[in-house]
Amino acid sequence: MAFALTAVDPATIFENGGYLFQVQGTTFTADHRYHVHIGPLGSELDPICYSGVPEQGGVIYPWTATKLRVYSPLLDPAGGPYDVFVVDIDTEGTDGTNLAGAYQWPGGSAASQVVPVNDTSDVVVGNFIGFRTDYQLWEIDLIVANTSVRLKNPDGLAFPTDAGVGTSYKAETHTLVTVMTVVYRDFRSTVFSMRRVLPKHWRTGPRDIDLVPPT
């Protein structure tokens, strides 16, 4: 089912990463996996956000049908406002974008597979692509222009078999443009808090500390 994006909350985060925010939208599918990226490009090439779930990495499952809860990556330099780019890596049905090239799907289930294709103008590294009658998607990790793409297959899925006659497609994506501002965190302290880490006689010296490697 096609989804849409409406907003992010909050719209300002710190650059050093690990901050929870929500991507709000409509009709997120409960059992689908999503990737969320923040950056100036509005594409898969921007830094990927994290789920906060052990061993799940950047794979995000919807919190509700209208919310994705994600944690920000390290974003340096601060700036923006940046784009938020979302990919449904389980796109199915008639969703997603049909590809111009005639992909020569090879069959098999290799962990890394080269697929010949005569037109790569509408794909980039990081795109998830598949075959319309199969509805499985694989991530592109290498492109040889108008010759082939290489796909990652960590789960050992069976590739379709097609001689380039059928329709291939890439995952459904949507972008919220210039919605996220990234700022540097302002660390503040007092003399009282500094006394907890400074030497007992810090007022009288030494003023310099030499770090000597152990022998």
Domain boundaries, the chain: 1-96+171-187, 99-169
- CA distances to 44, 92, 112, 145, 175 from 137, rounded to whole Å, are 15, 9, 13, 20, 20
pTM: 0.80
Q: What is the pLDDT of residue 203?
A: 54
Alpha-carbon distance 136 to 142, whole Å?
19
Question: Cβ of 56: how many Cβ atoms within 10 Å?
Answer: 12
Burial 150-160 (b: 16+ CB within 10 A, else e): bbebeeeeebb
83 token code pair:
């784009």
Amino acid occupying residue 42: G
Q: What is the pLDDT of residue 201?
A: 54
160 token code pair:
């379709």
Q: What is the pLDDT of residue 2?
A: 87
User: 23: which strand partners?
Assistant: 8, 68
- Taking the CA of residue 117 as centre, how many other CA atoms within 13 Å lie in the half-sphere pointing to its CB? 31
169 contacts 105 by C-beta, under 8 angstroms:
no
Mean pLDDT across 129-153: 94
Q: Percent of the chain scored above 70 by pLDDT?
A: 86
- 1-96+171-187 is classed CATH 2.60.40.10: yes
Residue in this structure with the two tokens 């991507």, named with its chain if needed = 23
For residue 89, give every residue at least 6 positions away whose Cβ sits within 8 Å of its Cβ, in sequence order, or none: 32, 33, 34, 35, 59, 128, 137, 139, 171
**Average per-residue pLDDT for the chain:** 88
Q: How confident is the model at residue 133 (pLDDT cuts 50, 70, 90)?
A: confident
Q: How confident is the model at residue 190 (pLDDT cuts 50, 70, 90)?
A: low
Per-residue pLDDT at 19 exceeds 70 = yes
